[in-house]
Amino acid sequence: MKQLKDKVAVITGGGSGLGREFALCCARRGMALVLADVDEQGLAETVQQVEASAPGVQAITRRVDVSRLEEVQGLAEFAKSRFGSVHLLFNNAGVGVSGPVWEYTAADWQWVLGVNLLGVAWGIKAFVPIMIAQGEGHVVNTASAAGWMSSAGSAIYSASKSAVVSISETLVLDLKDADANIGVTCLSPAFFATAIANSARNRPAELAETAPDSPLRRKREEMLRYAVEHGRLSAAEIAEMTLQAVEENRFYVFPHRKIKSLIQARAEAAQEEKQAFDPMSAG
């Protein structure tokens, strides 16, 4: 989708981090914005920044829990009723927990998979039919380097992001089957400064954390926080790379170039069929 001016972008997770930077990038290109998040204060702050950086751009918000199909469908109806169409969808909302696989609770699995996996599935289900009917559109799914390789303490997050990669690749093939003029981009960044390490702030009460406060869990949480805080790329840089990929209709986006060499090393480990690949040891 080369021309984005005067188009409509819908962004989940728009209340902070990468979602906020997507909003700012789209606003600078003259797009109208529909921002969704469970964090209403964060949404208001994003709108303030959009208005300051791109006066005149329309930006509306809606509280949405992307794990709930009916709320994502409501978002699609809200966007279409306000602007008449939706051209660019960012399935971006994401959360995470850390710890060894055997310590995760049922609530951990339900929360993370609900947001990271079902949020993408419901976004596609609600918005792609609109795009097909109007004859154009583009979907950006935020995956992760964790979708291509696994590290200790990241089982649920990696599982969810691996699924996003698979869904994204399959979506391209399904759209080709349907002869639909819809682009897809799968974004797979590594660590960068964002609020993912503090995502529990928006965790619903009915899925509250009850896992034991174990040394392994604390170790992995501390390592994640350090990695996020010391990321070499900013969310703004990653957002701009992603928008450029949309304009060039590119599917794979790996902002951190080293990730592709690690993916290759993982493939080589699979060829050897001996040891599970450890990206931290290969790093």
The strand pairing partners of 138, in sequence order, are 88, 183
Catalytic residues, by residue number, are 157
Task: Return the amino acid letter for 4.
Answer: L
Residue 100: count other Cβ atoms within 10 Å of its Cβ.
15
